[in-house]
């Protein structure tokens, strides 16, 4: 294409697209590894990686191979019948998590909804909570997805406004405050639901020992600890799961995003069988959940994680990125948080994060703001040293140009 694709062209191209997103002005056409190419042939380093759905980069050969092989066999059966990929996929996830029972779904929000249903039914049947009284303790500034129930316990007005009435039964406490969490638990509480590190809130890392405390408090109170690892899990932080950073074992884990390898939507809820077995035939399900294509790709994802290579890369490249970010010279930066290859850069008041992301786009780097004042980076774990350096240089240039 000879002429530049500008905002007017994009508006024309997407005239039938619903306005629930505000994307950066770039139209992507192809991708490989850590790089994407737009319709004009310009290349960008993808420093967002589909909000961690692309931990293994775009079109990782092992994942594409698994998908192509399965595409030639069988893609969908429904759960009305058995198929030969489901059992092995659940074995793999059980081995990866150390939890014995796997319930596959598709999107992250469905995984969270599944975990909420699991916790409530467990609360009534096992903990003896009076009918319809169950509560779940959540953290302020959480992000667990976009269904009406989930946005009902969000603290983000943009996510909630106009979507009520909301599902009752949730109590919100400040994230990182173990005492507040303990105080919110009573005889109606079935579970505590947390992101071990809050992604959408801007990569908020809790104080050291918080997850250990949450584990102790929930165990002592006899309530479930549900760990939403949809964004934090599968290598992003340098460990397989963010809970591994404190060697904490939750009762229930929710996985999504990178579990589908950037190829298909795959999520899963994983728990010990004595919890999961409150589900009985007909009490929960999904037409597409656990389909053969999803399972085949998910198995290939687990195989990649079992090499340990990606966790190690997240640690090594993350350390290099953190060092680079420490060296940033700008009075526009208020705070930088990072863990593994996951970064939140808070800007000083009056500096819109979107302006930094637009600056990065002009310099060939894709990123995304989280709320108005945080730039969020989550490059694919296949990123190289040179690409990390390129990312840091592009950030410095973008700050200099503000």
Indicate which residues carry an active-site annotation.
Answer: 143, 228, 257
Q: Which of 33, 104, 123, 145 binds ligand PLP (CB under 6 A)?
A: 145
Complete edge-to-edge strand list for the sheet that includes strand 252-255: 101-105, 267-271, 252-255, 224-228, 189-194, 135-139, 170-173
Lookup result for tokens 């899963």: 268
Candidate ranges 27-35, 37-45, 194-202, 359-367; the one touching ligand PLP (CB under 6 A)? 194-202
Q: Least distance from C-beta 88 to ligand PLP, angstroms?
A: 23
Does 387 contact ligand PLP by CB under 6 A?
no
Nearer to ligand PLP, 107 or 311 (CB): 107
Q: Which spans in 98-194 are helix H?
A: 108-122, 148-152, 157-160, 178-184
Q: Please spell the DSSP secondary structure of 270-330, one letter per residue.
A: EE-HHHHTT--TTSS--SSTT-HHHHHHHHHHHHHHHT-HHHHHHHHHHHHHHHHHHT---
Does 292 contact ligand PLP by CB under 6 A?
no
In the shown chain, the binding pattern of residues 34 to 73 toward ligand PLP, with x for contact by CB under 6 A and - for none, equals: -----------------x----------------------
**Residues pairing with 28 in the sheet:** 38
Q: How many H helices and E strands in the chain?
A: 14, 15
Q: Which of 34, 112, 214, 263 binds ligand PLP (CB under 6 A)?
A: 112
Does 227 contact ligand PLP by CB under 6 A?
no
Nearer to ligand PLP, 83 or 146 (CB): 146
Q: Which of 120, 121, 144, 373 binds ligand PLP (CB under 6 A)?
A: 144
Residues 6+ apart with CB under 8 A from 67: 261, 263, 264, 293, 296, 297, 300
Residues 6+ apart with CB under 8 A from 42: 364
Nearer to ligand PLP, 199 or 298 (CB): 199
Complete edge-to-edge strand list for the sheet that includes strand 35-38: 28-32, 35-38, 43-46, 365-366
Closest-approach residue to ligand PLP (CB): 108
Burial 376-393 (b: 16+ CB within 10 A, else e): bbbbbbbbeeebbebbbe
C-alpha 90/C-alpha 337 separation (Å) is: 34
Does 195 contact ligand PLP by CB under 6 A?
yes
Nearer to ligand PLP, 21 or 81 (CB): 21
Q: Which of 99, 221, 230, 370 binds ligand PLP (CB under 6 A)?
A: 230
Candidate ranges 17-25, 70-78, 141-149, 217-225; the one touching ligand PLP (CB under 6 A)? 141-149
DSSP 8-state assignment for residue 267? E
Assess contact for 278 and 121: CB atoms under 8 A.
yes
Q: Least distance from C-beta 369 to ligand PLP, angstroms?
A: 15
Candidate ranges 82-90, 165-173, 225-233, 334-342; the one touching ligand PLP (CB under 6 A)? 225-233
| Residue 104, both tokens | 């596959």
**Residues pairing with 376 in the sheet:** 344, 368
| Residue 374, both tokens | 């945080």
Does 256 contact ligand PLP by CB under 6 A?
yes
Q: Least distance from C-beta 379 to ligand PLP, angstroms?
A: 16
Q: Least distance from C-beta 52 to ligand PLP, angstroms?
A: 7
Q: Which of 228, 251, 346, 387 binds ligand PLP (CB under 6 A)?
A: 228
Does 299 contact ligand PLP by CB under 6 A?
no
Nearer to ligand PLP, 109 or 217 (CB): 109
In the shown chain, the binding pattern of residues 72 to 111 toward ligand PLP, with x for contact by CB under 6 A and - for none, equals: -----------------------------------xxx--
Does 344 contact ligand PLP by CB under 6 A?
no
Task: Kindly determine how many residues on this chain lie close enough to bind ligand PLP according to the rule CB under 6 A.
Answer: 16
Does 302 contact ligand PLP by CB under 6 A?
no
Q: How many CB atoms lie within 10 A of CB 305?
A: 21
Which residues lie near ligand PLP (CB under 6 A)?
A: 51, 107-109, 112, 143-145, 195, 199-200, 228, 230-231, 256-257
């Amino acid at each position: 294409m000879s002429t530049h694709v500008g905002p007017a062209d994009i508006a024309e191209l997407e005239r039938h697209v619903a306005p629930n997103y505000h994307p950066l002005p770039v139209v992507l056409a192809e991708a490989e590894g850590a790089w994407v190419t737009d319709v004009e042939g310009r290349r960008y380093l993808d420093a967002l990686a589909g909000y961690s759905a692309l931990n293994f980069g775009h079109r990782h050969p092992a994942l594409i191979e698994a998908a192509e092989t399965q595409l030639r066999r069988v893609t969908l059966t429904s759960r009305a019948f058995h198929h030969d990929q489901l059992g092995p996929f659940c074995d793999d996830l059980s081995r990866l998590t150390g939890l014995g029972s796997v319930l596959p779904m598709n999107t992250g929000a469905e995984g969270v909804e599944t975990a909420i249903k699991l916790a409530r039914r467990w609360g009534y049947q096992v903990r003896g909570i009076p009918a319809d009284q169950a509560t779940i303790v959540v953290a302020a500034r959480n992000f667990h997805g976009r269904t009406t129930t989930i946005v009902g316990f969000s603290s983000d007005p943009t996510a909630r406004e106009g979507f009520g009435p909301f599902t009752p039964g949730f109590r919100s406490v400040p994230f990182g405050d173990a005492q507040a969490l303990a105080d919110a638990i009573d005889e109606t509480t079935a579970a505590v639901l947390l992101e071990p590190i809050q992604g959408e809130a801007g990569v908020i890392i809790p104080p050291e020992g918080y997850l250990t405390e949450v584990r102790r408090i929930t165990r002592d109170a006899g309530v479930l600890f549900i760990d939403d690892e949809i964004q934090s899990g599968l290598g992003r932080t340098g460990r397989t799961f963010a809970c591994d950073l404190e060697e904490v074992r939750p009762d229930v884990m929710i996985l999504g995003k990178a579990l589908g390898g950037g190829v298909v939507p795959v999520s899963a809820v994983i728990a010990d069988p004595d919890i999961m077995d409150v589900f009985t035939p007909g009490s929960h399900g999904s037409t597409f959940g656990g389909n053969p294509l999803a399972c085949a790709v998910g198995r290939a994802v687990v195989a990649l994680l079992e090499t340990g290579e990606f966790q190690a890369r997240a640690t090594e490249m993350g350390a290099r990125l953190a060092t680079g970010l420490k060296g940033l010279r700008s009075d526009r930066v208020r705070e930088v948080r990072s863990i593994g290859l996951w970064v939140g850069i808070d800007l000083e008041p009056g500096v819109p994060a979107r302006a930094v992301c637009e600056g990065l786009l002009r310099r060939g780097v894709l990123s995304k703001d989280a709320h108005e004042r945080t730039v969020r980076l989550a490059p694919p774990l296949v990123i190289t040293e040179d690409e990390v350096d390129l990312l840091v240089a592009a950030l410095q240039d973008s700050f200099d140009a503000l």
